[in-house]
Structure 1
Amino acid sequence: MDDGSRPRRLFLPPVLRAPVAGRTWREFGYLLLSAPISAVLFAYAIATISLGAGLLITFLGVPLLAAGLAGCRGFGALERARARGLLRVDVADPAPVRGRKSGLMSWVGAVLKSGVSWRHLVYAITHFPWAVSAFTVSVTFWVSGWAMFSYPLWQWVFPGHLDQPGIALYDDTGGNGIYLDSPFEIGATSAVGLVLVLASPWVIRGLTCVDRLMVTGLLGPSRLASRVSELESDRGVVVDTAAADLRRIERDLHDGAQARLVALAMDLGLAKEKLTEDPEAAARMVDEAHGEVKTALRELRELARGIHPAVLTDRGLDAALSAIASRCTVPVTVEVDLPARPAAAIEGIAYFTVSELLQNVSKHSGARRASVDVWQTDGRLMLQVTDDGRGGADSAAGSGLAGLTERLDAVDGILAVDSPAGGPTTVTAELPWRG
């Protein structure tokens, strides 16, 4: 007991936990099922593809070949489900086959042109010999290990025969055999069995690693399709971000500078009317209008700076980030070490990323000081903003950090947040050097 109320947990090293771990039994079950399933899949693939190829000289060959490939895709769905359940490998389903037009022949053509369908066929043919080999190795290790490890038990339950104690491991035609009947031999057998039992989980894991590679490489969507899907998602994020920025600019113009300019026009109109009747009142109104003009100009400058600051275009990240730091409510040190200027789009994203992070420092961190570091490494632009505030920032909590993560992800960037409770907080952003 640790404190008189909680029991102390027994700690076992991984090598001792592995033989009884759930992962080991799941992976062993996967290998056991692979042999019969792959045999059926192999026989189906060979039969249907051979029949379809043999009948290509007739009209029936092409649809039979497409049907065989479609059946392999169906088996692929079973294999992906089995990998998810037993190997904990989340393999995305490939895009369904769709013909350009409706009709059987359009579907047949789409199946035959689909690289995913042919990769399923390759899996059906190549997985069978591997599944049989993995089944043989895993069962041999597993059964031999447990049998030898438990030898003292079943040697005692099933005593020796042929006028000699012990169990015969070998018996030739002359009746002579090798018997394990002495304590040393029984103990050595059990020790060897223990080694095999402890080694079996790692052998099984090594075998299932090959299965993982085959399932993800042959039964999942192609890299090109995954990349296209990722780019479509990123495009949606970029469009949504641009629309949100436009709405923000429109709102700022409508509620800020536009409203002030409308009021200014009205004030100048009243001043014009009073110019002959009450020159002093007209002068006061013109003076107030002058102040409104200054305020409107300041708001327009801030809005223009929010769209794309002129200092960033003219002097680069060093000067632009220093300008941001000077407006922060806490002291900020800026260190920029770049051999050249990155792409303009990447430079703008880096600027707004640091601006957003420093706003978070001002509003939420309670920090006394912060720092901004920018450098280049391996063709990537690195940004790091650190503060000594209270910490607890989380990009998964739906805050502004989540929006930054989506914006960076749209250009193949990465945002990493390290913010333990109590601080300090370090946010690191990685961007491509060229967009």
Structure 2
Amino acid sequence: MNASPPSTYSSATATATAADRADRSGGAPLPPPRFAFDAVTWKEILNLLLNLPMAIVGFVYVVTTLSVGAGLSVTVIGLPLLSVSLIGCRMLGAVERARARALLGVQIEEPRPLRPGTFGFLPWLWVTLKDPVAWRHALYLAIRLPWGIVTFVVTLTSLFVAWPVLPFLSRGMSAVDRALVRGLLQPSDELEQRIAELESDRGVVVDTAAADLRRIERDLHDGAQARLVALAMDLGLAREKLLEDPEAAARMVDEAHGEVKIALQELRDLARGIHPAILTDRGLDAALSAVAARCTVPVTVTVDLPARPAEAIEGIAYFTVSELLQNVSKHSGAGHASVDVWRDADRLMAQVRDDGRGGADVAAGSGLAGLAERLDSVDGLFVVASPPGGPTVVTAELPWRNRDFRRP
């Protein structure tokens, strides 16, 4: 298996990456300004006229509340008042982001909310006072007044004096507004954005773990446990008949022996669903080969890894491929499938292909959506290329982390 991803994956991933870049940059680029007034220009003009009243409100709020809070900081009420003022700066910043989204087309993430590590007044006070998001919002509100005056005056006078060039003036001044919003009102850096993403992903991980626990409990209760209870009852009846009807007791013991075998198989299947022993002992190559052997479609498995990845990453890759092969067996109508696993720089790649009917869609709310969420929770990527009529190519990309051999 070559270290470079197949062409189908490359094109799909390139499309997804381009879409991600467009989302992060704030959407599609704006059309160039023209002498004619279009919807974009009118929105920009409205935003520029609103700059002055919004700037006055923000400037008065910041100067008044922060000055009073800082001046009274030596008293009991000073620091709490300053904290409340900073929370208000966050709220005004949220209003400004909404205005930028509606009138300037700036799509930026909301900063992560304040979350003190412990409960209590003092932790809340400390977290609020050192909140960099609130202080950036306060700076934004403080410096907006001079710019708001300029944009309001230029725009208002241009409506009656420089009408033909107003679209070009509004585009230039709106570009400054967009830069100020992106610079001071969006999450400050990649670390803060990453924290917000991880907080969202943590919820997915918790929900997935809870669903897995419920599945294990249900399988134990409805499967192996019920079978073992019935087995105990059968053995009790066989013991009662042992003296009066040995032949019937022997038949019941034989039936109980068969039930024991089935119960053991169910327990093995359940254990395999939690974490298969073959994966722990021999790695992805042997574990995926075992999964492929149980598939109703002939499967070719190729694993080309220089070493074993971290246990968590290895487990996610295994269960992802296992579920994809189950989908191939149940839904694809394929005559053949293949599994390829390789390492590409700092990523673990796993690709499942089949020559079935195609039409698989993550957006349809199937199990593919759950796989996509699970990979996204660990900074992975899930790409499905499945045109009607096939073939279907599903690629899972996971971050590569080395296995820690120091642990026993």
Tell me if both proteins adopt one fold, taking TM over 0.5 as the criterion. Answer: yes
1:134 to 1:419, Cα distance in 2 relative to 1, 3 A: farther
Q: Is the 8 A contact 2:338 2:353 kept in 1?
A: yes
- What secondary structure is seen at the aligned counterpart in 2 of 1:422? coil
Counterpart amino acid of 2:101? R
Superposed displacement of residue 367, structure 1: 2.3
- What secondary structure is seen at the aligned counterpart in 2 of 1:384? strand
* TM-score (normalizing by structure 2): 0.73
Q: Is the 8 A contact 1:18 1:24 kept in 2?
A: no
Per-residue deviation, residues 15-37 of structure 1 (Å, max 9, x unmatched): 59896543343234324433553
Q: Is the 8 A contact 1:419 1:425 kept in 2?
A: yes
In structure 2, C-alpha distance between the alignment counterparts of 1:245 and 1:65, rounded to whole Å: 46
Superposed displacement of residue 118, structure 1: 1.3
Q: Is the 8 A contact 1:84 1:91 kept in 2?
A: no
1:270 to 1:51, Cα distance in 2 relative to 1, 3 A: closer
- What secondary structure is seen at the aligned counterpart in 2 of 1:340? coil
Determine whether 1:112 maps to 2:81.
no
- What secondary structure is seen at the aligned counterpart in 2 of 1:339? coil
**Structure of higher RCO (CA pairs closer than 8 Å, 6+ residues apart):** 2
Look up the match of 2:368. Answer: 401
Counterpart amino acid of 1:76? G
Determine whether 1:361 maps to 2:379.
no
Counterpart amino acid of 1:256? G
- What secondary structure is seen at the aligned counterpart in 2 of 1:351? helix
In structure 1, C-alpha distance between the alignment counterparts of 2:178 and 2:392, rounded to whole Å: 37
Look up the match of 1:25. Answer: 42
Match of 2:341 among 365, 374, 393: 374
Counterpart amino acid of 1:92? E
Counterpart amino acid of 1:95? P
Look up the match of 1:158. Answer: none
Match of 1:78 among 52, 77, 95: 95
1:248 to 1:67, Cα distance in 2 relative to 1, 3 A: closer
Counterpart amino acid of 2:213? L
In structure 2, C-alpha distance between the alignment counterparts of 1:226 and 1:212, rounded to whole Å: 16
1:262 to 1:84, Cα distance in 2 relative to 1, 3 A: same
Look up the match of 1:41. Answer: 58
- Please give the residue correspondences for 1:166-205 in structure 2 after superposition, counting only pairs within 5 Å: 203=172
Determine whether 1:95 maps to 2:120.
no
**Structure 2: runs of 5 or more not aligned:** 1-29, 403-408
Q: Is the 8 A contact 2:334 2:355 kept in 1?
A: yes
Determine whether 1:260 maps to 2:227.
yes
Q: Is the 8 A contact 2:136 2:185 kept in 1?
A: no
Look up the match of 1:124. Answer: 141
Q: Is the 8 A contact 1:123 1:214 kept in 2?
A: no
Q: Is the 8 A contact 1:24 1:205 kept in 2?
A: no
Q: Is the 8 A contact 1:38 1:124 kept in 2?
A: yes
1:242 to 1:81, Cα distance in 2 relative to 1, 3 A: closer
Q: How many residue pairs align between the two structures? A: 371
Determine whether 1:214 maps to 2:183.
yes
Look up the match of 1:309. Answer: 276
* TM-score (normalizing by structure 1): 0.69
Superposed displacement of residue 122, structure 1: 1.9
Counterpart amino acid of 2:267? L
Counterpart amino acid of 1:78? V
- What secondary structure is seen at the aligned counterpart in 1 of 2:350? strand
Per-residue deviation, residues 260-282 of structure 1 (Å, max 9, x unmatched): 33343444444445455555444
